[in-house]
Amino acid sequence: MFKRVVEALLRGEFLCPTAYTDEYGYLRQPDNFRKVADYLAPLDRALCTLDGSEAFYAGYTAIDETNRGLIREAFSEIRSQLRPVVEWMDLVMTAMGSDRPVRARDEIRLHQMLRVIEPEPSLCEQMARLTQMPFFRTARTNVAEQLLWVLQKLEQSGYLVKPNPQGATYLVTGKMDYLHQVIAFLNDAEELELDESEDNGDQTELFQ
């Protein structure tokens, strides 16, 4: 289990109860947490947890020439997903009549969402706009196919998992809570004018 946990963390995975049940349980044990943290330390990584959430991830503790490109790439990937995923969360909130964005452990039921979206022109238009964004772009015009495509993209990117491969229910992972933290960080640090092309040391805060 130690090897599996370390390899997942170094791949940039977020180990939470929905996506990595066994690995998350392993890290919940203090001895195991320390063992993994000690292994990551010489690699300039820290074993981190999300505030108010159930997820572990490996954050960079320093920026130098050996990891600058990787940090920039990770930052760029998250930045490219921000607006599309936020727009999707807005669609879910509107369709489900919720007053809060989705968080880890929330359920997303494909057929339930479809029943609400299909009869409502404004939601169909919102879905059409969503699937024109680069992250979700598709030539599909059928609402059911568009919704399935969006959910599959979110699953591929680690924001959702499907406990039953044959089912139509998805669970939100800890990576979504990480995205909430990135949004809060960018809102608080707006004056920094962060850009993925800049070598800004403050970007480290996103990864630790």
Paired with 108 in beta bridges are 170
Q: Could you tell me how many helices (H) and strands (E) the chain has, helices first?
A: 8, 5
Q: Going by C-beta distance under 8 Å and a sequence separation of 6 or more, which residues neighbour residue 202?
A: 189, 192, 194
CATH of domain 2-60: 1.10.10
Cα(152)–Cα(183) distance, rounded to whole angstroms?
23
Three-state secondary-structure class, residue 65: coil
CB-CB contact of 54 with 41 (8 Å): no
The residues near 75 (Cβ < 8 Å, ≥ 6 apart) are 196, 203, 206, 207
pLDDT (tens place) for every residue of the chain, 208 residues total: 999 999 999 999 999 999 999 999 999 999 999 999 999 999 999 999 977 678 999 998 877 777 777 777 777 788 888 899 999 999 999 999 998 999 999 999 999 999 999 999 999 999 999 999 999 999 999 999 999 999 999 999 999 999 998 999 999 999 999 998 888 877 776 544 444 434 444 333 343 4
H-helix or E-strand spanning residue 46: strand 45-49
Please state the domain extents for the chain.
Answer: 2-60, 77-181
Give the span between the Cα atoms of 19 and 30, in whole angstroms: 21
Q: Cα(23)–Cα(15) distance, rounded to whole angstroms?
A: 7
Asked if 13 and 45 touch (Cβ cutoff 8 Å), the reply is: no
Looking at the DSSP bridge assignments, the partners of residue 49 are: 56
The predicted structure's pLDDT at residue 189 = 60
Angle formed at CA 40 by CA 49 and CA 70, multiple of 5 degrees: 85
Residue with tokens 């990787």: 70
